[in-house]
Amino acid sequence: MSAIPTPLLSAATAIGKARHICVLTGAGISAESGVPTFRDAQTGLWAKFRPEDLATPEAFARDPRRIWDWYEWRRELVRRVEPNAGHHALVHLAGLVPKLTLVTQNVDGLHQRAGSTGVIEYHGNILRDRCSAEGTLARRSARSVTGLPECARCGELLRPDVVWFGEAIPPLTMRDADAAVADCDVFLSIGTASVVYPAAGLAANARQCGAIVIEINTEPTALTPLADFSLRGPSGEVLPQLLQALRG
Ligand code: BJW
């Protein structure tokens, strides 16, 4: 039987003592389910495009068909995949600690499909439609003038219910995430490059409020210098190991 690495043991000890854990996940946790991350140079979702050419309100206004094609392709992909060991480990972790708040930047809904509850979807959900004129969740019209998804109520174009660059995080979402960050005593950042704000600032805020910051990632990230413990490896392997160490 191989020995448990020291940072993993130290992280498990901190989690074992925690009253409230705030978890922030990013694209890396869904990578082992087969959802490409964003910034991988070869296979990432933006390998062929610059992000500002796709994930902005300006790009949608310029060429809605192109943006809808990209999102329909991603919706199909997300519907085909399953949650992995990392998603499932977080469901178990929530049952082992007094309080756990899960904030995800991911728009794929895989945490909920694994069984996590009360998930704060910081950047929205790709599977929902929102009216681009009314700003509210909306059903699709049975008929379409443009050939693109249109709002059943007002006929304007629908868009995916996600947060694009230059758009604000919905205020209630921001409030709930900030409250968890201020209250937690352990902040666990999993599978995110920690470059997109305001999500990338949550770990620093938690640390300022006195939390221990733990990172799980296959690579060093912008957060690594700030983290108390950096656990290197795929989250689908590291999280189950962490659970094992926690259970003793
Ligand atoms: C593994 C693994 C495995 C792989 N296991 N790990 C402050 C400073 C500078 C800029 C800004 C700032 N504040 C705001 C900005 C501007 C901008 C921004 O941050 N730009 C940066 C690029 C510099 N932010 C915004 O525009 C935000 N809005 C805003 O600030 O509004 C202000 C405002 C206020 C009031 C009124 C109006 C405006 C909005 C940001 C929205 C981001 N949206 C996206 C797209 C969502 C929709 C969609 O999916 O199409 O969200 S962008 C994209 O990046 C997506 C992700 O959630 C987000 C984060 O990506 P993530 O998760 O980190 O993925 P990757 O691919 O980058 O990294 C994967 C990681 O996993 C890597 O580290 C791998 O090593 C690792 N990994 N396999 C563990 N198996």
Q: What is the mean pLDDT of residues 190-198?
A: 98
pLDDT of 2 strictly over 70:
no
Q: How many whole angstroms from 174 Cα to the centroid of ligand 1?
A: 15
In DSSP notation, 87-130 reads: HHHHHHHHHHSS-EEEEE---S-HHHHHT--S-EETTEEEEEEE
Angle, CA of 94, 180 and 233, to the nearest 5°: 55
Q: What is the model's pLDDT at position 186?
A: 98
Pocket test for ligand 1, best of 197, 202, 231 (most atoms within 8 A of CB): 197
Beta strands in the chain (DSSP E): 21-25, 100-104, 120-121, 124-131, 158-162, 186-190, 212-217, 229-232
> Distance between CA atoms of 18 and 185, rounded to whole angstroms?
6
Q: What is the mean pLDDT of residues 78-86?
A: 98
Q: What is the model's pLDDT at position 185?
A: 98
Q: pTM for this one? A: 0.96
- Residues with Cβ < 8 Å from 131, sequence gap 6 or more? 137, 138, 151, 153, 154, 156, 157, 158, 159
123 annotated active-site: yes
pLDDT of 41 strictly over 80:
no
**Among 21-30, 43-52, 218-227, which is the least confidently predicted range?**
43-52
State percent of the chain over pLDDT 90: 89
- Identify which of 202, 248, 203, 245 has the alpha carbon closest to the alpha carbon of residue 228: 203
pLDDT of 150 strictly over 90:
yes
Q: What is the mean pLDDT of residues 225-239?
A: 98
Confidence of residue 42 (pLDDT cuts 50, 70, 90): low
Q: How many whole angstroms from 58 Cα to the centroid of ligand 1?
A: 17
